[in-house]
Each structure stands twice: as C-alpha cells, then as structure tokens.
Amino acid sequence: MLRPVGKRLIVKPVEQKQGKLLITKSKPTQFTVISIGNEVTNANPNDVVYLDKFAGSEIEYLDELFLVIDESNILAKIES
C-alpha cells in the first residue's frame, strides 16, 4: 500500500455515473482519499474532497493512477 509522508495525501478520482453511462470530464472534481501522511489533520481515508484545479502529481502504482497532493490543496470536504 502507498503511504504518503508529512502533510501529503494520496487520492483517486471519483467516477461519476449517470444511469449506466460513465461521465468523463477533462479534469475530475471529486476525489476519494486513499491514504494520508502522519501530519494530516483535516482529512481521513475514504473522505471525498474537492481539490485545486492543478493540484498534485500523478503516480502509477500496481497499474492504477493516483494523485499525491498536499493537504493545503483541499478546497472542501463532503460530509454525510
């Protein structure tokens, strides 16, 4: 499992579906938090967050793409 360091998080885009169709956009707006660094205070794994438009760096791990972001790139968190 990937584990970020410091105030970094690993996130993955939320797939938007409408019926049976997968809606694709040029830039996803919602991301699911996969893993957090030891200094992160405002997010937890499985949270859904909105990010700055150009936030983070893409990495590939086990044939999946993830985004590594800094905690300060989180604009808002969806709370249920």
- Please report the pLDDT score of residue 15 as a whole number: 72
Residue 48 lies in a domain: yes
Question: Over the chain (80 residues), what is each successive 10-residue block's mean pLDDT?
Answer: 94 74 64 96 95 90 94 92
Please state whether 57 falls in left (phi above 0), alpha (psi between -120 and 50) or beta.
Answer: beta
- Residue 52, both tokens: 């700055």
Residue 3 lies in a domain: no
Residue 1 lies in a domain: no
Cα–Cα distance, 46 to 78 (Å, whole number): 11
Cα–Cα distance, 26 to 40 (Å, whole number): 28
Is the model's pTM score more than 0.85? no
CATH number, residue 34: 2.30.33.40
Q: What residue numbers bound the domain in which 63 lies?
A: 8-78
Residue 34 lies in a domain: yes
- Please report the pLDDT score of residue 53 as a whole number: 82
Residue 2 lies in a domain: no
